[in-house]
Amino acid sequence: MNAKLAVIFFFLTFGFSMPVLLGFRDVYDIQLPNLHTYYQPEQPIPFSHRWHAGVLNMDCQYCHTSADHSRHAGIPNVSTCWNCHEKVLGKTTTAQENITKVRNAYLKGESVEWKRVHNVADFVYFNHQTHVRIAKFIDEEGKVHDGFSCQTCHGPMENAGVARQAENLSMGWCVNCHRDWNEKYEKAGIERFAPVNACDACHR
Amino acid sequence: MAIQINTQQPDDLKNMPPEMAAEIEEVSKSRRDFMKVTGMAAMGAVIAGCTANERIVKPLVAQPEGIKLGVPYEYASTCQMCSANCGTVMKTRDGRPIKAEGNPQLPMNYSGLCASGQASLWNLYNPDRLHQPVAKDGSAKTWAEIDAAAKAAIGAGTVLLTGTISGAGARDVIARFCAKTGAKHVAYDAISAWTIAAAHRDTHGAAVIPRYRFDMADMIVSFGADFLGKWISPMEYSRQWAAKRDLRFGRKEMSRHIQLEARYSLTGANCDVRHRLPDSQRGAALVALAEALGANGKFGAAGKHGLAGGVIESLANELKASKGRSLVLAGNDSADNVKIQKLVNWINHTLENYGKTVDLRNHSQQKLGNDEALAQLLKDLEGGSVKTLIVYGVNPVYDLPDGDKFKELMAKAANTFAISDHADETASECAWIAADDDPNESWGDFEPQRGLHTLAQPLVRRLWDTRQGLHTLLVWGGLAAHGDKYYDVLKKFWETSVLVAGETFRSAVEMGFVDHRDSVVNNMPEMRDTGDMAGVGEVASGTGLEIIVYESYTVGEGRHANNGWLQELPDPLTRQSWTNGASICPATMAELGLEEGDLVEVTADIGGRKATCRVPVLRQPGATPGTVSIGLGYGRTKAGRIKHGLGVEADAVDEDTLAIGGRGYGFLGAGKAVFGSVSKVGKYHHLAKLQEHDSQEGRPLLKQTSFDLWKKNPANGNTHEIPPVALTVWPRWEYKGHKWGMVVDLNSCTGCGACVVACSVENNVPIVGKEEVWRRREMHWIRIDAYYEDAEHDGKLTNHENPEAGFQPMMCQHCENAPCETVCPVLATLHSEEGLNTQAYNRCIGTRYCANNCPYKVRRFNWFTYKYADLTMNLALNPDLTVRTQGVMEKCSMCAQRIYDGKRAAGLAGEKLRDGSIRTACQSSCPTNAIVFGDQNDPKSRVFELGKDARNYQVLAEINTRPAVTYLTKVRNRPSKPEEEALADRAIKRAAAKADTKHEGHDH
**Would you kindly state where each structural domain of chain B is located, as residue ranges?**
13-121, 133-191+369-518, 195-364, 545-683, 815-891
Angle, alpha carbons A42-A45-A48 (nearest 5°): 90
Residue ranges for chain B with pLDDT beneath 50: 1-51, 644-657, 1004
Q: How many C-alpha atoms does B78 have within 13 Å on its Cβ side?
A: 28
B815-891 adopts what CATH topology?
Alpha-Beta Plaits (3.30.70)
Query: B820 or A2: which carries more pLDDT confidence?
Result: B820
Nearest CA to A127 out of B156, B605, B552, B904 is that of B904
How far apart (Å, rounded) are the C-alpha atoms in residues B142 and B464? 13
Start-to-end CA distance of chain A, whole Å, equals 47
* A14 vs B43, B49, B842: nearest CB: B43
Contacts of B35 in chain A (CB under 8 A): 22, 26
B11 contact residues in A (CB cutoff 8 A): 31, 116, 119, 122
Q: Which residues of B952-966 are buried (b: 16+ CB within 10 A; e: fewer)?
A: bbbbbbeebbbbbbb
Query: For residues B510 and B505, what is the distance between their CA atoms, to the nearest angstrom?
Result: 9
| DSSP 8-state secondary structure symbol assigned to residue A90 | -
Minimal C-alpha gap between A193 and chain B (Å): 7
Coil/strand/helix, residue B549? strand
Residue of chain A minimizing CA distance to B910: A134
Q: In whole angstroms, how large is the CA radius of gyration of chain A? A: 22
With CB atoms and an 8 Å threshold, state whether B35 touches A22: yes
B194, B186 in Cβ contact below 8 A?
Answer: no
- In a mutational test of the A interface, the residue from B842, B883, B911, B938 whose CB has the highest number of chain A CBs within 10 Å is B842
Q: Do B57 and A116 touch (CB under 8 A)?
A: yes
Shortest Cα distance from B856 to chain A (angstroms)? Answer: 21
Distance CA A10, CA A59 (A): 52
Look at B900 and A105 and tell me if their CB atoms are within 8 Å.
no
Return the exposure string of B520-548: e unless at least 16 CB atoms fall within 10 Å of the residue's CB, then b.
eeeebeebeebeebeebbbbbeeebbbbb
Same fold, B13-121 and B195-364: no
Q: Find the closest chain A residue to B13 by CA distance.
A: A29
Alpha-carbon gap: A82 to the closest alpha carbon of chain B (Å): 10
Inter-chain CB proximity B63 and A26 less than 8 Å: no
> What is the distance between the alpha carbons of residues B765 and B763, in angstroms, rounded to a whole number?
5
Instruction: Note the pLDDT of residue B639.
Output: 82
Give the pLDDT of residue B724.
Answer: 81
The pLDDT, as a whole number, for residue B532 is: 87
Rounded distance between C-alpha atoms, residue B189 and residue B368, angstroms: 7
Which residues in chain B have Cβ-Cβ distances shorter than 8 Å to A194?
900, 903
Under 8 Å between Cβ of A39 and A117: yes
DSSP code for B833: T
Does residue A188 register a pLDDT over 60?
A: yes
Name the residue of chain A whose CA is nearest to B59's CA: A77
Asked if B62 lies within 8 A of A77 by C-beta distance, the reply is yes
**Residue A22 is nearest to which of B43, B71, B839, comparing CB atoms?**
B43
Residues of B whose CB is below 8 A from A125: 880-881, 897
Label residue B139 left, alpha or beta by phi (over 0 means left) and psi (-120 to 50 means alpha): beta
Instruction: Name the nearest CA neighbour of B936 among B946, B923, B949, B926.
Output: B946
Q: Which residues of A touch B13 (CB under 8 A)?
A: 29
Round to whole Å and give the CA distance between B710 and B937. Answer: 28
C-beta atoms of A204 and B12 within 8 A = no
B882·A105 Cβ contact <8 A: no
Query: Strand pairing partners for B328?
Result: B221
For B215, residues 6+ apart whose C-beta sits below 8 A from its C-beta are B239, B240, B241, B243, B244
**Domain B195-364 architecture:** 3-Layer(aba) Sandwich (3.40)
Cβ separation B12–A122 shorter than 8 A = yes
Rounded-to-integer distance, Cα B399 and Cα B637, Å: 12
CB nearest B896 (choices: A79, A121, A204): A204
Please, what sign has the CA dihedral across residues B863, B566, A29, B869?
positive
CA distance A165 to B601: 68
| Residue type (1 letter), B143 | W
Chain A closest-CA separation from residue B831 CA (Å): 8
| CA-based nearest distance A141→chain B, Å | 22
Q: What is the pLDDT of residue B38?
A: 32
Check CB contact under 8 Å for A66 and B840. Answer: no
| Residue B427 distance to chain A (closest CA, Å) | 37
Q: Do B904 and A129 touch (CB under 8 A)?
A: yes
User: Could you tell me if B587 and B371 are in contact, meaning their C-beta atoms sit under 8 angstroms apart?
Assistant: no
CATH 3.40.50.720 fits B545-683, yes or no: no
Of 1.10.287.130, 3.40.50.720, 2.20.25.90, 1.10.10.10, which CATH number belongs to B13-121?
2.20.25.90
Contacts of B48 (CB under 8 A, 6+ apart): none
Complex-level ipTM: 0.86
**Residue A23 pLDDT more than 70?**
no
Residues of B in contact with A119 (CB under 8 A): 11, 53, 55
Looking at chain A, the whole-number percentage of residues with pLDDT higher than 90 is 47
Show contacts of B18-21: CB within 8 Å, 24+ apart: B18/B463, B18/B871, B18/B872, B18/B875, B21/B871, B21/B872, B21/B874
Tens-digit pLDDT profile for residues A36-50: 788 889 999 999 999
What three-state secondary structure class fits B931?
A: strand
Task: Report how far residue B262's alpha carbon sits from residue B546's, in angstroms, rounded to the nearest whole number.
Answer: 9
Q: Which of A94, A89, A60, A93 is nearest to A76 (CA)?
A: A60
Distance CA B776, CA B774 (A): 5
Q: Do A39 and B71 touch (CB under 8 A)?
A: no
Which residue of B46, B53, B60 is in closest CB contact with A21?
Answer: B46
pLDDT on residue B647: 33
Per the CB < 8 Å rule, is B833 touching A197? yes
pLDDT at A182: 87
Contacts of B58 in chain A (CB under 8 A): 111-114
Q: In sequence order, what DSSP letters do the residues of B316-376 get, joined into one string?
A: HHHHHHTTTSEEEEE--STT--HHHHHHHHHHHHHTT-BTTTEEEEEEE-S----HHHHHH
Minimum CA–CA partner of A126 in chain B = B880
Contact yes or no for B293/B351 (Cβ under 8 A): yes
Residue B251 sits at the vertex; the CA angle it makes with B245 and B256, to the nearest 5 degrees, is 25
Report whether A166 contacts A37 (CB < 8 A): yes
Would you tell me which CATH number, out of the four given (1.10.1240.10, 3.30.70.1230, 3.40.1080.10, 3.40.50.740), belongs to the domain B133-191+369-518?
Answer: 3.40.50.740
Question: Best residue in B30, B882, B895, B912 to probe A by mutation, most A CBs within 10 Å?
Answer: B882
- What is the crossing angle of helices A2-14 and B18-48, to 10°? 110
Task: Let me know if B307 is exposed, middle or buried by CB neighbors in 10 A (0-12, 13-18, 19+).
Answer: middle
| Beta pairing class for B952-953 and B965-968 | antiparallel
Contacts A115 to B, Cβ<8 Å? 54-57
Q: Kindly identify which residue of chain B lies nearest to residue A124, measuring between CA atoms.
A: B882
Q: How far is CA B201 from the centre of its chain?
A: 30
> Which residues in B lie closer than 8 A to residue A21 (C-beta atoms)?
43, 46-47
**Burial call A118-144: b when 16+ CB within 10 Å, e when fewer:** bbbbbbbbbbbbbbbbbbbbeeeeeee
Give the C-alpha separation, B678 to A57, whole Å. Answer: 82
Which residue among B56, B59, B880 places its CB closest to the CB of A78?
A: B59
Distance from CA of B6 to the nearest CA of A (A): 11
pLDDT digit string (tens) for B380-427?
Answer: 999 999 999 999 999 999 999 999 999 999 999 999 999 999 999 999
Pairwise CA distance, residues A29 & B26, whole Å: 12
Residue A68 phi, psi dihedral angles, 5° rounding:
-95, 0
Mean pLDDT in residue range A23-29:
48
Query: Mutating which of A26, A110, A200 best tests the B interface, going by the most B Cβ atoms within 10 A?
Result: A200
Is residue B756 within 8 Å of residue B784, measured between CB atoms?
yes
Rounded to the nearest angstrom, the gap between the alpha carbon of residue A117 and the centroid of all alpha carbons in its chain is 6
When pLDDT is averaged across residues A159-182 and rounded to a whole number, the result is: 89
Chain B CA closest to residue A104? B61
What residues of chain A lie within 8 A of the CB of B897, using their CB?
Answer: 125, 204
B465 vs B132: CA distance, rounded Å: 5
Condensed to tens digits (0 to 9), the pLDDT of residues B569-605 reads: 999 999 999 889 999 998 999 999 999 989 999 999 9
Please state, in angstroms and rounded to a whole number, the distance separating the CA atoms of residues B656 and B56. Answer: 47
Phi, psi (deg, nearest 5) at residue B978:
-55, -40
Q: Which residues pair with B456 in a beta bridge?
A: B444
Q: Which residues contact B379 (CB under 8 A, 6 or more apart)?
A: none
3-state secondary structure of A130: helix
Chain B residues with CB under 8 Å of A19 CB are 887
| CA B130 to mean position of chain CA atoms | 25
Q: Looking at the partner chain, which of B39, B832, B904 has a beta carbon nearest the beta carbon of A198?
A: B832
CA distance A202 to chain B (A): 9
